[in-house]
A and B are shown apart, each in its own frame.
Chain A
Amino acid sequence: MAEPALRIEGLEVDFPTREGVVHAVRGLDLSLAAGEVLGIVGESGSGKSVTALATMGLLPKSARVRGSIRFRGQEILGKKEKELTHLRGTGIAMIFQDPMTSLNPVYTIGWQIAEAIRAHQDVSKDEARERAVELLAEVGIPNPAERVDNYPHEFSGGMRQRAVIAIGMANDPAVILADEPTTALDVTVQAQVLDSLKAALRETGAGLVLITHDLGVIAGLADRVLVMYAGRAVEVGTAEDVFYRPSMPYTLGLLASLPRLDSHGTDRLRQIPGAPPSMLGERSGCPFAPRCPLATDTCREREPDLAAVPPASGDHRAACHYAESVGRGDHGLVFSDGVVDNVIA
């Protein structure tokens, strides 16, 4: 297997605070092949965004980062700011969550795209502007030749996010990190933005890390899926593995919270009870145990490793002591009251 576009190994990110150390990411491994789409799913605070920012070298200075992040075999962690500056945009581009605030309100859209182009390519202002119009067309902005001179406040949320995508693809990056690119948008607009993202992948051939808490967004797009909880990967596998053979109760919970067209009329959407754990200080046991209907004493004592799930192919792994028995029943029942044994059995 060739060197992946992006490989993260044993990533740990700590933030010292007055109340103690916050462990935002606790030993994360992932790899992204060239042109591949990897979905990262998890609730807020699970460490998804921190991972992306660490990859860009954009974490606040107080953050303590350990482990390894390699881009095309080249170590990123510990690189000088100047080298990182060169890498950003050309090697790895990032798209942020809130398009309403991602663009600078005082410059036109075209100016901001052209600025990204001219940061890395030796082209004239006119050429950069022309390229900006092309990019806007590629992400599906109507009348790009006129729209290029608009200010961000003259764009709708969806259009702004497409402009951000255009900035992301401006320098043909090998990897695009999209952090909740559709979360802040109306459902009707989300599909358009995802189309723009697909267009960007087509044009640049980049690999995509798509971060979201919404499995629905990932379903049509991701080749592989990584589920994060409390700063760790708790399940990873092909989209098919994770969607059809979930082996970690948390994944089941996420799937159960997804509306389904084929569900029976009486089924209600379920939600995972409780809240994600505080990332402050040390703890033992499986971090999901307090919310898990299957939790046993073992779970509360020992945190499970991310291990291969036997029946599936080698790439499907899950961090659950009961990975083999999870989800072999109707996963919708897992979080109903009193029917837990139904699943275990």
Chain B
Amino acid sequence: MFAYILRRFLISIVILFFATILVFLLVTSAGDPLALLKSNPHTPHSTILAREKLLHLNDPLWQRYWDWFWGVLHGNLGQTIAGQPVAPQLWSHLLVTLRMVVVATIIAIFVAVGLGVWAAVRQNKLADHAITVTNFVLLATPVFVLGLVLKEFVAIPINQHVGTTIFYTDGQQSPTLSGPFLSRIPDYFGHTALPALTLVLVTYASWAIYQRSSMLETLDADHVRLARAKGLSRRRVLVRHVLRNALIPVTTVIALDFAAVLGGAILTEIVFGWQGLGQWYVTGVTTLDVNIMLAYLLVTATFVILFNLIADILYGVLDPRIRYA
């Protein structure tokens, strides 16, 4: 098992290395970062030359890649077009995004497993139909649509009805927020509730569908029939023999879906005006800020690889057949 994980880890490193090359090529081919500057006839030629030199735009591509890569290895992610270091911006935006993503993922896992189990146990009953139809509708709803609908038709009417702002729809916290942590919690809650809810709803649906079918498959397994024949209570059979085994594939799927959750976070941040990683990246794309784009793609690709590894390890932990293989 350990050797297997180690091997996967080393392969991951190699793939990550090639991914950086691919990402670098994609990013640098996106366009000329100075196009806007050049389109202004009043820009002095010397300024353009100076900026080109600053951004190393005239160096050969491989040289630029190597400079960037060398910097990354030493923890230096370069500077933005505006001349500020990328790394601090990355970390502060990452913290904002993680706040939403972590909360949403944890809630989504519980909702997905709970509803999936409920639907499977009540198979073909009203509860099952209701849950399944809801899941499919949510699955078919793009993140930005759901975010907009919640914002326009849930948050604003509730706030108007109550007469005060409970759900904030713009930003991750009030700009003037200060004071001890405890007193800030209501503000955090008001700002996080809707974006997190959006992310929960679009994320949990596919997991719940998967949990349900995994449960149904396990319910039909021979070993569950033996467990019942042993005279175990219905509850014990469900929890220790059906749910325990049904969770194995679901856990893997959830871990592998982390990249998708980060993708969903981009849209949630834009809809709810959060200054998170996704918003930062989209700004970086529109301004053709190479180092911002590279930093974002590097971090998300690393997350994807990390969660692939976690999925492998979890599989081994949960399934003894893999553990001893």
Contact = CB atoms under 8 A, between A and B. Distances in A.
> Direct A–B touching in the complex (beta carbon < 8 Å)?
yes
Interface of A: 56, 58, 81, 85-90, 93-94, 96, 98, 101-106, 115-116, 119-120, 151, 153-154, 164, 167, 170-171
A56 B229 contact: yes
B232 A115 contact: yes
B231 A119 contact: yes
B285 interface: no
Nearest to B236: A119
Interface in B222-239: 222-223, 225-234, 236
B319 A85 contact: no
Contact of A89 (B221, B231, B248): B231
Interface residues of B, number: 24
Nearest to A101: B222
B245 interface: yes
Contacts of B226: 94, 96, 102-104, 164, 167
Contacts of B233: 85, 119
A88 B237 CA distance: 13
Contacts of A151: 320-321, 324
Interface of B: 221-223, 225-234, 236, 240-241, 244-245, 248, 318-321, 324
A90 B231 CA distance: 8
Given A103-B223, A164-B226, A119 B320 contact: no
Contact of A58 (B229, B241, B244): B229
Given A106-B248, A115-B232, 8 more contacts: A56-B228, A58-B229, A88-B229, A103-B226, A104-B226, A119-B232, A151-B321, A153-B321
B225 A106 contact: no
Contacts of A87: 231
A219 B230 CA distance: 28
Nearest to A82: B233
A105 B231 contact: no
Contacts of A88: 228-231
B244 A94 contact: no
A96 B225 contact: yes
A116 B248 CA distance: 23
Contacts of A164: 226
Nearest to B220: A60
Closest 10 CB pairs of A and B: A89-B231, A88-B231, A101-B222, A104-B223, A116-B230, A94-B229, A151-B320, A102-B226, A153-B321, A89-B230
Contacts of B221: 101
A115 B231 contact: no
A171 B230 CA distance: 9
A331 B324 CA distance: 54
A154 B324 contact: yes
Contacts of A101: 221-223
A253 to B, nearest CB: 30
B243 to A, nearest CB: 11
Contacts of A85: 231-234
Contacts of B318: 106
A164 B222 CA distance: 12
Most buried by A among B225, B229, B232, B318: B229
Contacts of B241: 104
A103 B227 CA distance: 8
B122 to A, nearest CB: 12
18 contacts: A81-B234, A85-B233, A86-B231, A94-B226, A96-B226, A96-B229, A101-B221, A101-B223, A102-B222, A103-B226, A104-B245, A105-B223, A106-B244, A115-B240, A151-B321, A153-B321, A167-B226, A170-B230
Given A102-B222, A154-B324, A93 B244 contact: no
B262 to A, nearest CB: 31
Contacts of B228: 56, 58, 88
Contacts of B225: 58, 96, 102
A96 B225 CA distance: 9
Nearest to A116: B230
B222 A105 contact: no
A105 B241 CA distance: 10
B244 to A, nearest CB: 6
A77 B75 CA distance: 72
Contact of B231 (A98, A103, A104, A116): A116
B240 to A, nearest CB: 8
Contacts of A105: 223, 245, 319-321
B314 to A, nearest CB: 13
A157 to B, nearest CB: 13
A217 to B, nearest CB: 20
Contacts of B227: 104
Contacts of A93: 229
Contacts of A170: 230
Nearest to B237: A85
A193 B227 CA distance: 21
A145 to B, nearest CB: 20
A60 B317 CA distance: 33
Given A96-B222, A101-B221, A153 B320 contact: yes
Contacts of A120: 231
A310 B198 CA distance: 79
A5 B222 CA distance: 27
A102 B223 contact: yes
Nearest to A94: B229
A64 B318 CA distance: 38
